[in-house]
Amino acid sequence: MADPGHPVKCSPVMVDGVALNGPTVNILDSEDFLQQSMAIILEDAVKKATDVKEKVCEWRPPEELKELLDLELRDEGESESQILQRCRDAIRYSVKTTHPRFFNQLFAGLEPYSLVASCIVEALKPSAYTYEVGPVFTLVEDAVLRKMMELVGWEEGGDGIFNAGGSMSNMYAVNLARYHHCPDIKQLGLSAAPRLVLFTSQECHYSISKAAAFLGIGTKNVYKVPSDESGKMIPSALEELIKKAKSEGAVPFMVNATAGTTVLGAFDPLEEIADICGEHNLWLHVDACWGGAALISKKHKHLLKGIHRANSVAWNPHKMMMACLQCSAFLVRDKTGLLQRCYSASASYLFQQDKFYDISFDTGDKSIQCGRKPDAFKFWLLWKAVGARQLEQRVDRALAMARYLADEIKKREGFRLLMEVAPVIKERMMKVGSMMVGYQPHSDRANFFRMIVISPQAGKADMDFVLDEIHNLGKDL
């Protein structure tokens, strides 16, 4: 009888010169490496990266950084100590988007519960296309989508899917609206459709035009509706453009409204736009990727008044809700299976109809992806940990912080809401590494800083620091 402590050695089983006995990778042998790497992540990517006394970035020009990182891939592997140093270097020279003074994008800050959820997902390597492969995560996604639809105001529910970003959600919307208007296009292609046009404000996200190009609609068939001085779509101008398109022989099929524009943070007047869509039988999509978080705030949800009348909504919890990237939901008011009919390919190796469980949880056929990360879990664990009340407080605090900064700008001599020296100050800011704020031009205005305030780690002192630092970096200009 074999001794369990001394397993019998077997002769190697060879196929095509390759030994098949045993695994080629023993995870237990990597346990020490995993522990050391996690310690580096905790110390450098969590503690230091969120320490206001540390730099937001350690800037290096591309050619210098290439040399520092030693990017070449070779035939032989490196030692664990070298790989651990690679990890340290990757963190060291990356931008710390979790830093309290990172205001550069529409996402920021560290959310520990969502971070843990991300780690679990990466460790398990699941895919959210079927219940049999991702039982926990398909149920989680269903629960999160239902809650988000409830906040939108769809009392009878709806449908939806998490996907790889807000741009993808907007593309889903354009394609679904087109399919709803012209279902034959799925099988017959563009030959089955007339000249279709859609409408969106001049302040909309560029993904709408990209979607039109990708889907064969054409960017010239995206009619840009003028906005007022605050960046909101002008409903009367929308009405005029719809009439103009019809007079040209085109067929309007969709309006994209924005709840929280990328540059000015404007909220389009959804009630008035919904009225126009109803009158002309147009699909109303609301891009609430940025502003959707206001729905959880009793104080600010009025900004999205009328969103319940939308046919579809895009909402990114990885923005103001603080979930780890990426976490993006596409919501549909329809309950007849429109999303499934539009995207289904009925792959027989995944979506068999004679399975032994409720196949309504096999949601992958509603997605244009096959493999799909269970991103909803990152939002679900966060929500379970802090609750809706604290999420509401975070939204309220972010908007209050933005108001404080705006008031302080008005008080300070030498500051305007638009500045012409932004590129030079941004260069100095990056090289110093003290903070990170984006800039851009807008319409006929000069470059200005686009300040985004969402991180719970940022406080009043950080707002004051931003103004002081901009002054110090540009006082000689």
CA 386/CA 377 separation, integer angstroms: 14
Mean pLDDT of the chain: 90
Q: Where are the alpha helices (DSSP H) in 197-269?
A: 207-214, 235-247
Three-class secondary structure of residue 230 per DSSP: coil
Cβ contact 436:95 at 8 Å = yes
Burial 342-375 (b: 16+ CB within 10 A, else e): bbeeeeeebbeeeeeeebebbbbbbbeeeebbbb
Return the CATH architecture of domain 117-380.
3-Layer(aba) Sandwich (3.40)
Of 17-31, 121-135, 213-227, where does mean pLDDT reach its minimum?
17-31
CA 310/CA 332 separation, integer angstroms: 8
The predicted pLDDT at position 461 comes to 86
DSSP line for 139-195: HHHHHHHHHHHHHHT-TT--EEEEES-HHHHHHHHHHHHHHHH-TTHHHHGGGG---
CA 96/CA 99 separation, integer angstroms: 5
pLDDT tops 60 at residue 6: no
Cβ contact 438:410 at 8 Å = no
Q: What is the pLDDT of residues 152-194, one digit of tens each?
A: 999 999 999 999 999 999 999 999 999 999 999 999 999 999 9
The predicted pLDDT at position 212 comes to 97
| Pairwise pLDDT comparison (402 vs 318), residue with the higher score | 318
Residue with token string 């990890």: 87
Three-class secondary structure of residue 10 per DSSP: coil
- The DSSP output letter for 82 is H
The predicted pLDDT at position 446 comes to 58
The mean per-residue pLDDT over the stretch 404-428 comes to: 73
Residue with token string 């289904």: 344
Write the single-letter amino acid at 373. Answer: K
Burial 243-262 (b: 16+ CB within 10 A, else e): eebeeeebebbbbbbbbbbb
Q: What is the pLDDT of residues 332-345, one digit of tens each?
A: 999 999 999 999 98
| Pairwise pLDDT comparison (263 vs 417), residue with the higher score | 263
Cβ contact 117:324 at 8 Å = yes
pLDDT tops 70 at residue 21: yes
The mean per-residue pLDDT over the stretch 118-137 comes to: 93
CA distances from 113 to 19, 51, 64, 320 (A): 43, 18, 36, 15
Of 263-272, 335-344, 406-415, where does mean pLDDT reach its minimum?
406-415
Retrieve residue 5's tokens: 């402590």
Of 60-74, 100-114, 260-274, 347-361, where does mean pLDDT reach its minimum?
347-361
CA 421/CA 97 separation, integer angstroms: 24
Of 204-218, 384-398, 418-432, 454-468, where does mean pLDDT reach its minimum?
418-432
Retrieve residue 356's tokens: 């032994």
In the chain, % of residues over pLDDT 90: 66
Q: Residue 286 — φ and ψ, nearest 5°?
A: -115, 115
pLDDT tops 70 at residue 420: no
The predicted pLDDT at position 419 comes to 40
